[in-house]
Structures are given as structure tokens and as C-alpha cells.
A = this chain, B = another copy of it.
Amino acid sequence: MSETELREQAAHWWRTSICDIAPGRIAYRGYTIEELIGHISFPAMIWLMLRGELPTAAQERLLEAALVASVDHGPHAPSIAIAQMAVSCGLPLNGAIASAINTLDGVHGGAGEQAIELYDEVLRWSETKDLDDAAAGAIDHFTAEHGKYLPGFGHRFHPVDPRAEPLLALVDAAISEGAVGGRYASAARAIERVMRERKGKLIPLNIDGATAVIYGELAFAAPLARGIFCLSRAVGILAHAWEQTGRQDRNKGPMPKQFAYKYEGQPRRSLKQAP
């Protein structure tokens, strides 16, 4: 193999469409960094890096609202508690953020991703059914496959999640402006209606369901709902890790030592009795 072919192989191995970097030059998606710094917002930069193009003003506003809304949910959230405990073990901020972001997985961070998939199912069914029937069918199919938890709706702590309504209001405004299509908002509301009929009470949209409406309206692929949630939740994780940094706790466990845990295993026994 010639030297040129070797170089091409290596270049292809690490190929990318995101950044073009040469000595003294950096460009993202074609735009030089000098043009970007101070001229686009952080949410617009996030959009550019993920999507390859700049967002419209309306798209930027909706993305920013979703980013602001998801930053934190306090020390009962495992990601937040983990960040604090990590700092008390001696980890610097990058390590605390890493241990915590890692847990934004299927149950803790994947709900937004699954909610988009649920909305997509409603929209697929709605090609041949009216919307509420489509929602009913999608709900049944989804829960049959994934279990009883419907992602995006209800909340074990909030009867009504206070983050949902402000987000949906922004979506409605964007729909009015013609900036987004409204299909995902309709799908979400259809699910709410069907669930209310079935349960006899409102199971309202939660933060995951509301941000999923936004990400769906903005045409983000479902896994990016989780990815963008990570960018947002990293802020709360960092804030709580920083707060813990000022304290003296060493090896902070989940509860004060006075709260003993229950041992429910084998009673005391001796190796001498072992087989």
C-alpha cells in the first residue's frame, strides 16, 4: 500500500462533516469560528453542530426553552445525588458530571426519546385513522411492547408538572406563527385526551413529554431528545456538584449513618460448615 493510500485510510477512519481544522483555522459546518463567536447564541451553536445548518429564530427559541426547562430536579433525582456524592469522594467537576450523566439512561433520560417514538406511532396510525383512535391504538401497542409506563405523561412527584404548560404555550405560539407544523403537539394532546377518558382523570404531560413535543416539532431524531436532555441536565449536575465542592463531607453516602440499612441475607454461618 502506498503512503498516500495509508494516509487516506487513516483520514477516512476519522472522517467527519462537523469540523474542519487546520493550523490557525477552525470552521464548524462551513462557518469559521471567528464568524460564530459573539454572533450566534449557544442554542444556535448546538443546533448548528447537531443539524449542520443554522436554526430559524423560532426554532432557536423553542430549543432554548427546552434546554432551560430541563436543567435540574433536585437531590432526589439520582443524577443529582450522584454528582454530589462523587464530589465528596474527591472527584473534580468533570468526573462528577461524567458519573452522573452516565445515568441519564433508559429510565432517567430516555423518556423523552421514547415519547417521540410514541408520538411517531400516533402520527403513523393517524394516516388511516382519526387522531384520537390513532392515539388509542398507539398507546395500546406501545404499552404492550414496553410495559405500563407511558413515557411523557404523569409524574410520580408532580400532580401537574409545572414545566409542561409553559413549554406547550411556546409551541402553540410557534404553531400560530407557522414556524412549526403542530403535528407533535396534536399527537401529545390526543394521548392526554384518550388517557383522561380511560382513567377518568387527567394524566398530564410531564417535562419529558413536553420537551419531546418540542424536539418532534423541530424534527430532531428521537435519540437526540436524550442527547439534548444531557446537555441541559449537565447544568443542574454541575451546579449541585459545585455546591457540594464547598462542603467538608468525605465519602458522602446516600443517607446519614444513623439510618442503618436492612440486611436480609443469610444468617451468620461458618466456612467450616461449607461444602
| Chain B proximity mask over A231-275: 1 for CB below 8 Å, otherwise 0 | 100111011111101000011111111111111111111110011
A107 lies within 8 A of B251 (CB): yes
Q: How many residues of A contact B (CB 8 A)?
A: 143
A105 at the interface (CB under 8 A from B): yes
- Smallest CB separation, A163 vs chain B (Å): 5
Q: Residues of B contacting A29 with CB < 8 Å?
A: 265-266
Within 8 A of B (CB), among A50-109: 50, 52, 54, 56, 61, 64-65, 67-69, 71-79, 81-82, 84-86, 88-95, 97-109
A28 lies within 8 A of B86 (CB): no
Q: Which residue of B lies closest to A231 (CB)?
A: B234
A270 lies within 8 A of B31 (CB): yes
B90 lies within 8 A of A105 (CB): yes
A256 lies within 8 A of B9 (CB): yes
Q: Residues of B contacting A170 with CB < 8 Å?
A: 37-38
A23 lies within 8 A of B271 (CB): no
| Chain B proximity mask over A190-230: 1 for CB below 8 Å, otherwise 0 | 00000000000000000000000000000000011011101
B106 lies within 8 A of A89 (CB): yes
Q: Residues of B contacting A86 with CB < 8 Å?
A: 78, 82, 102-103, 105
Q: Bound complex: CA of A5 vs CA of B250, how far in Å?
A: 23
A49 at the interface (CB under 8 A from B): yes
Q: Which 9 A-B pairs have the closest CB atoms?
A: A90-B106, A17-B265, A30-B266, A98-B102, A254-B254, A89-B108, A14-B261, A90-B107, A11-B262
By a beta-carbon cutoff of 8 Å, the part of chain A in contact with chain B is: 1-3, 6-21, 23-43, 45-46, 49-50, 52, 54, 56, 61, 64-65, 67-69, 71-79, 81-82, 84-86, 88-95, 97-110, 149, 156-160, 162-163, 165-167, 169-170, 223-224, 226-228, 230-231, 234-236, 238-243, 245, 250-271, 274-275
A sample of 19 cross-chain residue pairs with beta-carbon separation below 8 angstroms, ordered by A number, consists of A1-B258, A6-B7, A8-B262, A10-B256, A10-B261, A11-B262, A14-B75, A14-B84, A14-B261, A21-B263, A23-B159, A24-B162, A26-B73, A29-B266, A82-B85, A90-B108, A94-B105, A95-B105, A223-B245
